Amino acid sequence: MRIGSVRIGVARIAIAAAMLATGILNCGVLVERNRVLTGVLDEHLAPESPTARVALAPIAVPVGLSSMARDAVLLNPLSLMPEAASDTADLISEVPWTGIGEIIVFPMRVITVPVLFTAIVLAHTFLPLD
């Protein structure tokens, strides 16, 4: 019995996390160029008639929410990684050559580059930057 309740708890947490991510990442997801999966669903599977839309609403709403959550959590950040890598390289390359001081600067760069890259990916994900 304990295993079943743990599975239900994990499913509830996953659904809550997907809903929270969709709500938090609203700005990035609502920009049309950031909705790859949702755009494909809208283009190919959306019915033309209003009657069909109403009839398929019980299926379309959960599918649409899950596709937006996947776009927000997975596809959008993955598609923005090359741009974030370029921005990170631009920020790091502006540090002038310091000669022997590079020995001191290198460990700080090793620590700050992943943090900076993650912050830039999150900024591009949360904010609809062009």
Sequence spans of domains, the chain: 2-126
Q: How far out from the chain centre does Cα 76 lie?
A: 4
pLDDT tops 70 at residue 25: no
Q: Are 124 and 88 in contact (CB under 8 A)?
A: no
Determine the pLDDT at residue 5: 53
- Residue 1 pLDDT class (50, 70, 90 cuts): very low
In sequence order, the 6+-apart residues with CB closer than 8 A to the CB of 67 are 37, 38, 41
Determine the pLDDT at residue 94: 60
Sign of the CA dihedral running 36, 30, 25, 38: negative
In sequence order, the 6+-apart residues with CB closer than 8 A to the CB of 125 are 25, 28, 72, 76, 77, 80
* DSSP letter, residue 94: T
Cα 10 from Cα 4, distance rounded (Å): 10
In sequence order, the 6+-apart residues with CB closer than 8 A to the CB of 81 are 121
pLDDT tops 70 at residue 60: yes
- Residue 48 pLDDT class (50, 70, 90 cuts): confident
Q: At 12, give phi and psi (nearest 5°).
A: -65, -40
pLDDT tops 50 at residue 76: yes
